Amino acid sequence: MDSSATDITPGLYIHIPFCKSKCHYCNFYSTTSLSRIDEFLNALSTEMAMYQETFTRFDTIYIGGGTPSLLAVKHFDSILSQIRNAFIVSPNPEITIEINPADTAREYLESLRQLGVNRLNIGVQSFDNTVLAFLKRRHSVHQALDTIETARKAGFENIGIDLIYGVPGQDMISWRDTVTQALSYELAHLSCYQLTIEAGTPLGLRHERGEIVFPNEDLQHAFFITTSETLENAGYVHYEVSSFAKDMSLASQHNQKYWNHTSYLGLGPAAHSFTGHTRWWNHRSLDKYIRDIETGKPPLSASEMLDREQLYLEALFLGLRTKRGIHLHNFSGRYGYDLISEKGDALARLVKAGFIEIKNGCLQPTRTGLAVADTLALI
């Protein structure tokens, strides 16, 4: 955890709140009313102007959702031009767009590349059609493979994919096959997430009714450890609980800002923002978002000011989810909390149990520690 993290250039996130259909596990905010895209883009442009005083410069832009790839090239052209007009964008920014494998054609991706987009994150989720069907994804394995190849031909070198494990009915053979297939593409980045049960989603409701059984804790742990071992043996850096980079230079610059308390601005429905001590988030409703903006108000759902203790606890939680871990001296300088003198005994127990290591003045989770990262911060 770098003590100067708040001085680092902020990141900009834009939430595109549209999907053609809803995947059964998903709790991200989106609507299937695609007829409102133009209305949303007008509101987004006004919202951008509202933050010109608070944020001046960005060096990462991440357009996520929802399904950004439902937008046309002209929409991205307009969004990126508006960003460059409203803010200073550092030279060589990381510009990522999330892509659904069902929506892509070579000319489309080539045009995005020409607009300055230099990183694609493709929502592959699995290379097993049974798993894709269970999750109600609207693409097939064939389309996912095709999208990866098309992205390469369109000139993208920095390509990442998302994968999900822990799906009901999925066994280790299916998951190993998916990981092996992903490795064969020598992608820059892999995000491997455990499927979580989100209340209120179709999957959550089926789980409540007892219709589906998720893999037990031992199998979930085995999925995590197998993933980490297999990818690290193949040369990837397991740099955050769910994130693997072919090389640290290819780690997501944008996502790292979330984990080291760098400021970020989030625009669009449900997007979150942070300025080093204050966090706010927008309405989880396209209606409310547009209505507020039309009346000249920031479309805020709520905000909170974090006191020193909340900041320190959050930094501990976030830092222990990363391989880089927590730089003890910098942490103490930034949050006023000396972990060694305050938590020395608990840390010694975690070191002895093999969950963390203290190396070069840093507290770093081991692979076993990363598997239980959320509980490590409860020391």
Contact residues for ligand SF4 (CB under 6 A)?
Answer: 19, 22-23, 26, 28, 30, 65-67, 100, 123
Shortest Å distance, C-beta 101 to ligand SF4:
10
Smallest distance, ligand SF4 to C-beta of residue 112, A: 18
The token pair at 215 is 């893999």
- In angstroms, give the least distance from the CB of 233 to ligand SF4: 29
* Residue (69 or 150) nearer to ligand SF4, CB: 69
Q: Which residue number, 10 or 101, has a Cβ lying nearer to ligand SF4?
A: 101
Continuous segment of H or E residues that includes residue 61: strand 57-65
Residue 22 or 272 with smaller CB distance to ligand SF4: 22
From residue 314, give the alpha-carbon distance in Å to each of 238, 257, 326, 362: 21, 14, 12, 17
Please name the residues in contact with 61: beta carbons below 8 A apart, sequence gap of 6 or more: 11, 12, 14, 80, 83, 89, 93, 94, 95, 96, 254
**C-alpha Rg value of the chain to the nearest Å:** 21
Least separation in angstroms between residue 63's CB and ligand SF4 is 13
- Shortest reach from residue 218's CB to ligand SF4, in Å: 27
Shortest spacing between CB 119 and ligand SF4, in angstroms: 18
**Which two structure tokens, joined as six digits, stand for 260?**
């080291």
- Residue number, 65 or 269, with CB nearest to ligand SF4: 65
Quote the least distance from Cβ 114 to ligand SF4, whole Å: 25
Could you tell me if 97 and 83 are in contact, meaning their C-beta atoms sit under 8 angstroms apart? no
Rounded to whole angstroms, the Cα distance separating 313 from 331 reads: 11
Q: Closest separation between CB of residue 345 and ligand SF4, Å?
A: 43
Q: Which is nearer to ligand SF4, 44 or 164 (CB)?
A: 164
Residue 367, phi then psi, degrees to nearest 5: -60, -45
* CB of 19 or CB of 95, closer to ligand SF4: 19
Q: Which C-beta is closer to ligand SF4: that of 66 or that of 160?
A: 66
Helices assigned H by DSSP within 249-336: 253-259, 286-294, 308-319, 328-335
* Residue number, 30 or 158, with CB nearest to ligand SF4: 30
Minimum separation from the CB atom of position 34 to ligand SF4 (A): 12
CB 305 within 8 A of CB 358: no
Name the residue nearer to ligand SF4 (CB basis): 31 or 181. 31
Is residue 354 within 8 A of residue 317, CB to CB? The reply is no
Distance of CA 248 to the CA centre of its chain: 16
Q: In the chain, how long is the greatest CA-to-CA distance?
A: 59
- Give Cα 308 to chain centroid, integer Å: 26
Task: Using the CB atoms, write b or e for 110-137: b if 16+ within 10 Å.
Answer: bbbeeeebbbbbbbbbbbbeebbebbeb
Vertex 74: Cα angle to 76 and 163 (nearest 5): 40
